[in-house]
Amino acid sequence: MNVVLLGAPGVGKGTTAERLSGRYSLPHISTGDVLRESIASKTSLGLKAKAFVDSGRLVPDKLVTEMVKARIAGNSKGFFLDGYPRNINQAEALKAFSEVDVVLNLSAPKKLVIERLSGRRICMKCNAIYHVKNIAPKKDNVCDKCGSELYQRSDETPDVITERLRVYDEDTKPLVDFYRNEGLLRDIDAAQDVDGVVKQCVEALERDD
C-alpha cells in the first residue's frame, strides 16, 4: 500500500503517518526529517538544502526526488510518504518511479494549523513529534519514547512559517486537484484529535472504491 499524505505544514501529517506506520508496519518516510538530518550531519545534500529549508522555500525538485527514490527503493510492501510531492513537477516525477494507491488529504482551518506549528517540539534523537499544549511530553522538554531532549525547529519562526504557508498555497495545494482527478484523493478532517484523524484515515484506507 503506497500512501501519500498531503496537507499544509503543521496540519498533522507526521503525527498521523507515524501512527499509521505502526498500525500497518510500513515505513514512514518524511522528506523534512531526512533533510534536517542531512543538514545536521553536513552531508553534501544537507549543505545544498540548508538555505532553502532555513528560509521556508522548496529544495530543488531534482535533489528531493533523488532522495525519495533512494528511500522508497526496496519498500515493496509500501510506505507512508509525508512531505513529497510538494508540487506538480514532483508529483509527475513520483508517478514515473512509483505507483500511488491512496492520497490522504489532511485539512484544518489556517488558525489551527498556525497554532499547531507554533507549539511543535521534536525529539533531537528519534524525531518524535510533540506539542507544548496538545500533545505534551510527560516531562517538560524530554522525549517520552527515548528520553532525549526536545527542540523547536529553526524554521518555526513567524516569518518562515508565513513563507512556508505561502509556498503551500502556491505550489502544493494544486496537488489536491491533481490527485482528485486521478481518483486517488481521500479528504480527511484534521481538525479532530489525533485518534479521530487516525480513525478517519484507517476508514479511508480500508474503503474499497
Residues that bind ligand AMP (CB under 6 A): 9, 31-32, 35, 52-53, 56-59, 64, 83-84, 86, 90, 155, 164
Does 194 help bind ligand ADP (rule: CB under 6 A)?
yes
Closest CA to 48 of 59, 40, 57: 59
Residues 150-189 that bind ligand ADP (CB under 6 A): none
In the numeric block, which cell numbers belong to residue 203?
A: 476508514
Residues 107-126 that bind ligand ADP (CB under 6 A): 116, 119-120
In the numeric block, which cell numbers belong to residue 166?
A: 505561502
- In the bound state with ligand ADP, the residue whose beta carbon lies nearer, of 86 and 120, is 120
Contact of 4 with 104, CB cutoff 8 Å: yes
- In the bound state with ligand ADP, the residue whose beta carbon lies nearer, of 44 and 121, is 121
Does 143 help bind ligand ADP (rule: CB under 6 A)?
no
- In the bound state with ligand AMP, the residue whose beta carbon lies nearer, of 2 and 90, is 90
Half-sphere exposure of 132 (CA within 13 A, CB side): 8
Cα–Cα distance, 146 to 84 (Å, whole number): 27
Tell me if residue 153 is catalytic: yes
Q: Can you name the residues that pair with 29 across neighbouring β-strands?
A: 81
